[in-house]
Chain A
């Protein structure tokens, strides 16, 4: 087996980059790239991927941390002294030079140390430049590789986008860099051209054996081309892995959502390798502690669509779109929507059922910070959620608003709004929920299904009977499992926000 530590070509150690305005672009990056690997930085715009690339190229310096190239710190070397070349987002071809001169630009600047021996056997070194012949041979070779023979004398402005792209790649590759950096190089090309170039780049990578570091926000591009993908968000690495790893075993709901389409359900572990979501208990392959709240990812193509009585979960098709190879349908189960891809079409309104195979259910730990519910406002200006009814302060929905005697909301602008049946998002903090033995005190009633000791407090889950809604709460009191309790939430601790603007 290859010793992986020996094999690292570039390594980022505790890299931080904070911009002058205080924005943290890159937050403590630690990763390495193996020699000859095709690595992709993937993430939405503003995730820090381009900043990281610019630091590797040398255009930007890390605020702290080290960039090691073959084990040596290069973080303070200027770009011209790094054996790294870049293909820029908008190609950055020199408009005053033709194709040949553009590609030869780097070669003409290159200096070599050549060691000679004179008659007395004394060695001396001379710094030499490449001869015109050598340069022209190298340019010809690289032009052949990118399929642009005969374009030497053309001005770069006369080339098409795809051809400019090839010149940019050739200009970087001709210097035989140890690492080639590509900053969204295919972003400006049309779809067909992009697909072709993806395969060509992959082919080039295989042939040359140079390490490629590629930046993109296109997940499909990343999956197609890379050996390793680094998913980033807000300057933090979310996951590093092979395309299959990242697709099949996303570490969190962000990665799952960003890489391909996916259903993300909120669920609970109810037994050993058993997860409960969309109102049914499924066998799965991931093991988490019993009663832990989890996120469940199921890819739309992994949902098996069956006739009404044959599957585990029943539902109704509410939309169906033809996507070429397959139909994309949405099935509604209770309040939850399940996206399904299938080659067989089911009509809208049809009652169907689904099955999901255990190894297609991916369970992820849920970062739990607050309870979130879908709720609605009642006629009495209380809010219904989690199988219960709670008093709340509806004037929070509109800043500066007040309630009149009849229960209508008067906004700061003097408008009168009827809030009855308005849908709202409800958020309640873990520490804001109290429970009581007295069933009449609280807004909802349920059983304690889980008690986890968290060092200095207990985390309890109270589950209601009707819709199995969960209230997660932190408490210092001791309770027993299966205690029947009522849930009390103080009026001011219920955060409500409108799902959509009310039509007036």
Chain B
């Protein structure tokens, strides 16, 4: 005998949705950012690509690139920019590492105060800082030029190197250093075999936060170059678009340099593993 029970299916019906014109969900929170991204990143990017590959008449051409790579002044500016950026990065690293190391070993409030001392420059306007440094240099009767440029850039970008290094070092498990010490390593070996290799993510993010912006940051070099007229590639881009510095406004040329820069940065990022998720030790947590 079967028990033929009639089940009232209507009871299982989904509740009727409230008849509203617009239901809000969490996904919609990204709309403002999406719009922003499209307007200020995607469209300009597409415009750069479009202008870089078109001529005055709007037809597709490689001539802009040919022009750029055959212009020795532009190429040498690019080359020197990379060189200066490298030099500044290395100097910053050499200065910042001991600072970050000492800060990370300090205890309690003292560490906090010193850390603040080192990173407050980050909160002061870039140009203001550059101007202040310039005055300081003239007070020390140091002439403007390449040396002043290096000092100024290092001073301006140092906090961006200290922060990622500090946050990597502070997170490091102290028992790893103790373990190395325990296994027979002296103080120097503990540093070279454990502390240094484990802080590589911090070094990479610090280096990228210094190296890439230095190449385009012409405000600082303008301040410190003086009569040498030295400039970074970023300035060339600005000139091309604005038609300053004795050149005619050339949107296509400017777009080409921008694209070349973009590719260089992209390649550096990939080479240093900057896209990997584990290297998230950026100095953004302060």
Mark interface residues in A70-81 (1 if CB within 8 Å of B CB, else 0). 000000001110
Cβ–Cβ < 8 Å partners of A90 in chain B: 173, 175
Mark interface residues in B176-214 (1 if CB within 8 Å of A CB, else 0). 101111111110010001100110100000000000000
Q: Bound state CA distance, A90 and B175, in angstroms? A: 8
B183 and A78 contact, CB distance less than 8 A: no
**Minimum CB distance partner of B173 in chain A:** A92
A109 and B178 contact, CB distance less than 8 A: no
On whether A109 and B189 interact (CB within 8 A), knowing A92-B176, A94-B194, A96-B198, the answer reads: yes
Q: Bound state CA distance, A8 and B197, in angstroms? A: 40
Contact of A59 with B by CB under 8 A:
yes
**Minimum CB distance partner of B178 in chain A:** A59
Cβ–Cβ < 8 Å partners of B178 in chain A: 59, 79, 86, 88, 92
Cβ–Cβ < 8 Å partners of B197 in chain A: 96
On whether A86 and B193 interact (CB within 8 A), knowing A92-B175, A92-B176, A95-B198, the answer reads: no
Contact of A392 with B by CB under 8 A:
no
Cβ–Cβ < 8 Å partners of B193 in chain A: 105
B176 and A94 contact, CB distance less than 8 A: yes
The main secondary structure of chain B at its interface with chain A is: helix
Mark interface residues in A103-127 (1 if CB within 8 Å of B CB, else 0). 0011001100000000000000000
Cβ–Cβ < 8 Å partners of A84 in chain B: 182
Cβ–Cβ < 8 Å partners of B175 in chain A: 88-90, 92
Cβ–Cβ < 8 Å partners of B198 in chain A: 94-96
B184 and A109 contact, CB distance less than 8 A: yes
B186 and A80 contact, CB distance less than 8 A: yes
B181 and A85 contact, CB distance less than 8 A: no
Give the residue of A57, A59, A88, A109 whose beta carbon is less than 8 angstroms from that of B185: A109
A85 and B182 contact, CB distance less than 8 A: yes
Contact of A171 with B by CB under 8 A:
yes
Cβ–Cβ < 8 Å partners of A79 in chain B: 178, 181-182
A86 and B182 contact, CB distance less than 8 A: yes
Cβ–Cβ < 8 Å partners of B184 in chain A: 80, 106, 109-110, 175
Cβ–Cβ < 8 Å partners of A88 in chain B: 175, 178-179
Distance in angstroms from A2 CB to nearest chain B CB is: 30
Distance in angstroms from B189 CB to nearest chain A CB is: 6
B179 and A94 contact, CB distance less than 8 A: yes
Interface residues of B in 164-182 (CB under 8 A from A): 173, 175-176, 178-182
**Minimum CB distance partner of A106 in chain B:** B183
Distance in angstroms from B259 CB to nearest chain A CB is: 37
Most chain A CB inside 10 Å of its own CB: which residue of B183, B185, B193, B197: B183
Cβ–Cβ < 8 Å partners of B181 in chain A: 58-59, 78-80
Q: Bound state CA distance, A105 and B178, in angstroms? A: 13
Q: Bound state CA distance, A2 and B200, in angstroms? A: 54
Q: Bound state CA distance, A79 and B181, in angstroms? A: 6
Cβ–Cβ < 8 Å partners of A85 in chain B: 182-183
Q: Bound state CA distance, A8 and B200, in angstroms? A: 45
Q: Bound state CA distance, A288 and B175, in angstroms? A: 50
Distance in angstroms from B93 CB to nearest chain A CB is: 19
Give the residue of B179, B185, B189, B200 whose beta carbon is less than 8 angstroms from that of A92: B179
Q: Bound state CA distance, A392 and B179, in angstroms? A: 59
Distance in angstroms from B173 CB to nearest chain A CB is: 7
Interface residues of B in 196-250 (CB under 8 A from A): 197-198, 200
A80 and B179 contact, CB distance less than 8 A: no
Q: Bound state CA distance, A89 and B181, in angstroms? A: 16
Give the residue of B173, B176, B185, B194 whose beta carbon is less than 8 angstroms from that of A80: B185
- 8 pairs of residues in contact across A and B, judged by CB atoms under 8 Å: A58-B181, A78-B181, A80-B185, A95-B176, A96-B198, A105-B180, A105-B183, A171-B183
Interface residues of A (CB under 8 A from B): 57-59, 78-80, 84-86, 88-90, 92-96, 105-106, 109-110, 171-172, 175
Q: Which 5 A-B pairs have the closest CB atoms?
A: A106-B183, A92-B175, A92-B179, A109-B184, A79-B181
